[in-house]
Amino acid sequence: MPRVPYIEEKDHPELAPLIARIKAERGKVLDLYKVLLHSPAVMEGWLSFFTAIRQKTKLGGRMRELAILRVAILNGADYEYQAHLPVALKEGASAEQIAALEAWQMSSRFDAAERAALAYTDAMTKEIRVSDELFAEVREHFDTQDLVELTATIAGYNLVSRFLEAMQVHHQS
């Protein structure tokens, strides 16, 4: 159970426009959103930010989802991992790549750009600061827009996993 109760749509008619937007942009109201709805302003900002990350960026979906899954692994955020697993497969990540994410450094399943992005994900998530050497390596594979979008994706999904784990929102079946 989460640390705060879920907001149920039937009990909050004042949230109907926001809930309708969630359904339009995401298909359904996930348990994560049922917690975030306690603060409509935060929910609106969250929805805008993550809709931009997931649906309006140029960064390739496979790269985005590999980074998201790696963040989830590093942070022990099973909800985030389970939610993005089917998305990663749909975006072209192979089952073998996903299985290798835990120890990606020892796997030959990732190309040079993916390896750089995963190293960047690890550094941003575990150390916060990124070395100049690693940034230069990532820069070799991504243009400025992709680099900004990859950075925002990694940072954003660190927010997601930290929120999920702090509020004890667990994966819904």
Q: Per-residue pLDDT tens for 91-102?
A: 999 999 999 999
Q: What pLDDT is stored for residue 110 in this prediction? A: 98
- Integer CA distances (angstroms), 28 to 9, 22, 24, 137, in order: 11, 7, 8, 39
Mean pLDDT, rounded, of the chain: 96
For the stretch 58-81, pLDDT in tens is: 999 999 999 999 999 999 999 999
Q: Please give the structure tokens belonging to residue 41.
A: 């302003």
DSSP 8-state assignment for residue 108: S
Per-residue pLDDT tens digits for 11-26: 999 999 999 999 999 8
pLDDT(173) > 60: no
pLDDT at 171: 67
Cβ–Cβ under 8 Å, residues 118 and 70: yes
Phi, psi of 140 (to 5 degrees): -65, -25
Angle at 148 between CA 98 and CA 50, to 5 degrees: 65
Other residues' Cβ atoms within 10 Å of the Cβ of residue 94: 12
What is 61-167's CATH topology?
Answer: AhpD-like (1.20.1290)
The pLDDT score that the predictor gives to residue 55 is 93
Mean pLDDT of 103-128: 98
Band of pLDDT at residue 1, cut at 50, 70 and 90: confident
**3-state class (DSSP) for residue 142:** coil
Q: And the tokens for 95? A: 């089952």
Structure token pair of residue 116 = 């750089």
Place 172 in a pLDDT band, splitting at 50, 70 and 90: low
pLDDT of 152 strictly over 70: yes
Q: Which residues contact 106 (CB under 8 A, 6 or more apart)?
A: none
Rg (CA), the chain: 17
> Could you give the percent of the chain with pLDDT greater than 90?
95
Residue whose structure tokens are 């070395």 = 131
